[in-house]
Amino acid sequence: RQRHSTLSSRELTQNYLPNCHLIEGIEYGAEDITILDDGLAFLSTGLKYPGLPSYSDDPGKIYSLNLLDSDLKIKALNIKGQFDKGSFNPHGISVYTDEKDGAIYLFVVNHPQGKSQVEIFRFVEGENALQHIKTIRHELLHNVNDIVAVGTESFYATNDHYFTNGILKVMEPLLSLSWSDVVYYSPQTVQVVAGGFSSANGINISPDKRHLYVSNILKHKIRVMEIQKNTVLSHVKEVDVGSLCDNIEVDRESGDLWLGCHPNGLKFMLSDPNDPPGSEVIRIENILSEKPRVTQVYADDGSVIIASSVATPYGGKLLIGTVYQKALICDLK
């Protein structure tokens, strides 16, 4: 059972894209990436996650990267306001644009001292800065992995574990417990809206805001749920992806899902530099149809890029981030 959930015997055939380049300056991961309509990408970097390698003691940072610039230079976003930058440990991120005034909000899962909380920032475009608006802590947000913002102060979030105690947390996947969940948060209401995940990881929403997609990582499936009301989700289906898929990005035009995946979960958990985990990008087309199309877009055995966790397309290019290593940009065929 354990071998199956981690796909521990899986070997990878290289499947490269043309014209790939590493993004200069990303050495300690870009665990989550999201791209604005105008081609500005935000990268969540420097995650320290229990049990996984971290090659820097520096606090995490959020970088911006303009994909329309030919030189592809990352810029650290300056964080303003009452915020402890020294303990910043960013994980999943999500962008929300306020219809009313066009303001762009960046929601960031943060693990200072190993805790879980959600930071809301407003993006100050002219200054390449983030203005800290508020920190959200709640007992239901206890092991937050990823987040999708649905309002200026509301979001859905995944908890990737049920237990917060170190030993129990480690035992949880070994016991194949399906106790991980999705929480809806707004200033008025906080509640668990979906459960039964054996580690819920990436979460995102369809372009029409009617369906939620959640990666049930140890089951190698993407769960699709319809949003009836904010707190009422109905189960639609689960789509098999055959890999441990981490973050989910959704193409705004086509509605396709792009997944950064761990092809061999055991190698990912061991993270041996001499036998590194590989990387895999999977795309799902027509996910709501009777026959979704699941294809592998990119695969590497770890010699180019280790432990991919996110992949997002923009303007004919694909940007791939990792949990603790590098980031890659390629041309899509």
The chain-wide mean pLDDT, for the chain, equals 93
**pLDDT at res. 91:** 97
DSSP letter at 3 equals H
Catalytic residue among 4, 21, 91, 111: 91
| 34 to 65, 199, 248, 264: CA distances (angstroms) | 10, 22, 10, 24
The string of pLDDT tens digits covering residues 205-230 is: 999 999 999 999 989 999 999 999 99
The one-letter amino acid at 318: L
- Give catalytic status of residue 21 as yes or no: no
Q: Is 57 a known ligand-binding residue? A: no
Measured distance CA(212)–CA(214) in Å, rounded: 7
The string of pLDDT tens digits covering residues 126-159 is: 999 999 999 999 999 999 999 999 999 999 999 9
pLDDT band of residue 251 (cuts 50, 70, 90) is very high
Q: Is 204 a known ligand-binding residue? A: no
Q: Is 146 a known ligand-binding residue? A: yes
**pLDDT at res. 176:** 67
The string of pLDDT tens digits covering residues 266-299 is: 899 899 999 999 999 999 999 999 999 999 999 9
The answer for residues whose C-beta is within 8 angstroms of residue 88's C-beta and 6 or more apart is 59, 60, 61, 79, 110, 112
Cβ-contact 204, 222 below 8 angstroms: no
pLDDT band of residue 3 (cuts 50, 70, 90) is low
The one-letter amino acid at 321: G
Rounded to a whole number of angstroms, the CA Rg of the chain reads 18
